[in-house]
Chain A
Amino acid sequence: MEKTIDNNDSQDIVVTPGQRLSKAVDYISLDGTYVHKGYIYSSVLGFQHIVKRNLQETKENKDENNNNNSSSEESNIKDERDFITVSKEKDPGVVPEIGSIVTVQVLRTNPRLASVAILCVGTKALKETFNGIIRIQDVRATEIDKVEIYKSFRPGDIVLAQIISLGDSRSYYLSTAKNELGVVFAQSVAGGTMIPISWNMMQCPITKTKEFRKVAKMDNSIETEQE
C-alpha cells in the first residue's frame, strides 16, 4: 500500500520499518530511509520529517537555469527536491568526537602509554565504553621529555582528557596537556580517596602518603577547602 504524504501533518506521522513513503523521484532519501526499486521506504521506527530546501538557494538556481540549456534542467529538478528523513524514537547514541572532553578510567599502564576506557563524553554517559590511549608525549605541555607514566596515572584512576585524534583502528588518542585535564579521582595503596595538594601530587588522608599524579585543576571551592 502506498501512503500519501500530507505536508501539514508531517510532524505527526509515525512510520514503521518497511513502510513506503514516496517515490524516489519526489524526495531525496536521508537518515532512517532507503531506496528500493524506485520507492523510498522507512528503515526505522520514528517520525517522518520533510526538510525543505532553502528558498533563496532554490531561487538562485532558477535564475541560473534561465541562462542555460536543457541539460541544466535535470540539475534543476534535482535541486528542487526536498529531503525526507525518519528520526529515531530514542536519542541516538553518543559517539566521541575530536575535541570532546571525556571522562576515562585508566585500565593499564606501561612506560609508553596508558590504556583507558572512555566512560562519558562531556556530561553524557556512554552505554558502551570505547578504548583510548594517552601517549607519554600527550600527558603535559611542558617538559615532555621528562614525563613518566607511572608518576602521572595509575590503573583505576578517573581522568579528564580531551580527544585529539581518532587514532588507530582500536583506540582513540587522548591528551591531558591542559591544566584543567588530568586525574580527578584516585585511591591510594591503602584504599583511601586521595586529595590533590599540587599539580603533580596527591595525598591520602588516612595514611598521609603522598603519590605522584598529573592532577587536574579543579574549581576554586575545592582549592579553598585544601587551605
Chain B
Amino acid sequence: MSKLSYISPEGLRVDGRRPNEIRRINVKMNILGRADGSAYYEQGNTKIIAAVYGPREIVHNTKAMFDRAIVNCEFSVSSFSTTERKQQFKTSRGDRQTTEASNLIKQAFESTIHTHLYPRSQIDIYIQVLQSDGGLKAAAINAATLALIDAGVSMKDFVCACSTSCIDGIPVLDLNHIEERSGGPDCLLSIQPQLGGVISLNMDSKVSQDLFESVLELGTQGCQKIFDILSLEVKKYSSELLKNK
C-alpha cells in the first residue's frame, strides 16, 4: 500500500489505541517551589510544565482594572521538544502559533476564574512544553487548570480540553503527532465538566455537519474521561498534603 493506514481493519490505531481511547496521563502537582501553583502534565509523549504566579500586584499600572483581576498567559515551546530543533525567537512575542495558544488559554481561564474577587491584580500563567507529540493546546489547558488549583485561585470549575478528529470517516479521540498530519479536521474542545458548558471550540479544515456532531460528542466524552483522571489526582494530592501535616 502506498498510503499510510491510520486505522487498521481490526479497529486499532497506529499506537494500538481504539478510536475512543485517550493516551496515558501522568500528573504531578506542586513541583516548583518558587511558583504559587505548578503542575507537570504528561499525556502520551506530550510533556508540559505549567506555573501560576499570583494573584499579585499589577506590574504595569495602565493595565489595572479596578473591579477585577487580569489574566496573563505565556506559552513557550522548548527548542528540543520537537523532532527538529526549533529556533528560539529573541523577542518575547514568539511566532504566530505560540501567540494563538497564549490567547486561547488566557480567554479560557478569564471565563473560569472568579476575577472579581481579586481587583487590581494579575494572575500569570506560564506554560512550557518539554516534549511535543500532538494535542499541545489541550494538554496546556489541562496543565494550567491543575496549576491554578494548586495555587488556590478561586475557580468555577475545572477546564478540561481534548482534541478530536475524523480519519477515514471515523471520529478519533486525542490525536498524536502522526494523526495530526493526516489531513483530517483538528477539533479542540474544552468544557466545564461539572457545571456543563463549552469554554472554547476550535476546528481546522472542512467537515460535514453530521460528522461534526459525532466528533463533538466524542470530544465531550474525552473531556469527561480526562476530568475523572484529573479529579482523582487532585484529591490524591490533597490527601497526601493532609498526611504530611
Chain A positions within 8 Å of B, measured between CB atoms, are 1, 14, 16-20, 32, 34, 36, 41, 43-46, 88-90, 92, 127-128, 130
CB-contacts of B145-181 with A (<8 A): 149-150, 152-158
* B36 / chain A contacts, CB cutoff of 8 Å: 127
* A90 / chain B contacts, CB cutoff of 8 Å: 152
Chain B positions within 8 Å of A, measured between CB atoms, are 36, 56-57, 114, 149-150, 152-158, 192-195, 231, 234-235, 238-239, 241
Complex Cα–Cα for A212 and B239 (A): 55
19 A-B pairs with C-beta separation under 8 A: A16-B234, A16-B235, A17-B155, A17-B156, A17-B158, A18-B158, A18-B193, A32-B154, A34-B114, A34-B154, A36-B156, A41-B156, A43-B154, A44-B153, A45-B149, A45-B234, A45-B238, A90-B152, A127-B36
* A127 / chain B contacts, CB cutoff of 8 Å: 36
What's the A-B contact tally at a CB cutoff of 8 Å? 61
CB distance from B125 to the nearest CB of A (A): 15
On whether the beta carbons of A89 and B152 are closer than 8 Å, the reply is yes
CB distance from A131 to the nearest CB of B (A): 8
Q: For chain A, what secondary structure do more than half of its interface residues adopt (helix, strand, loop), or is it mixed? A: loop
On whether the beta carbons of B157 and A17 are closer than 8 Å, the reply is yes
* A19 / chain B contacts, CB cutoff of 8 Å: 194
On whether the beta carbons of A20 and B154 are closer than 8 Å, the reply is no
Complex Cα–Cα for A18 and B192 (A): 8
* B156 / chain A contacts, CB cutoff of 8 Å: 17-18, 34, 36, 41, 43
On whether the beta carbons of B114 and A43 are closer than 8 Å, the reply is yes
Given contacts A14-B239, A45-B234, A36 and B195 within 8 Å (CB-CB)? yes
Find B195's partner among A16, A18, A46, A89 (CB 8 Å cutoff): A18
Find A17's partner among B56, B149, B241 (CB 8 Å cutoff): B149
Given contacts A34-B114, A36-B156, A41-B156, A20 and B194 within 8 Å (CB-CB)? yes
Complex Cα–Cα for A21 and B81 (A): 41
CB distance from B204 to the nearest CB of A (A): 29
* A41 / chain B contacts, CB cutoff of 8 Å: 156-157, 194-195
CB distance from A164 to the nearest CB of B (A): 21
* B150 / chain A contacts, CB cutoff of 8 Å: 45
* B239 / chain A contacts, CB cutoff of 8 Å: 14
Complex Cα–Cα for A130 and B231 (A): 35
* A17 / chain B contacts, CB cutoff of 8 Å: 149, 154-158
* A20 / chain B contacts, CB cutoff of 8 Å: 194
CB distance from A87 to the nearest CB of B (A): 10
* A92 / chain B contacts, CB cutoff of 8 Å: 152
CB distance from A206 to the nearest CB of B (A): 36
* A14 / chain B contacts, CB cutoff of 8 Å: 235, 238-239
On whether the beta carbons of A89 and B153 are closer than 8 Å, the reply is no
Complex Cα–Cα for A43 and B118 (A): 14
CB distance from A74 to the nearest CB of B (A): 28
Complex Cα–Cα for A145 and B25 (A): 68
Nearest B-chain residue to A92, judged by Cβ: B152
* A130 / chain B contacts, CB cutoff of 8 Å: 57
Complex Cα–Cα for A191 and B231 (A): 55
On whether the beta carbons of B155 and A44 are closer than 8 Å, the reply is yes
- 6 smallest CB-CB distances across A and B, nearest first, come from A18-B157, A18-B194, A43-B154, A17-B155, A88-B152, A14-B238
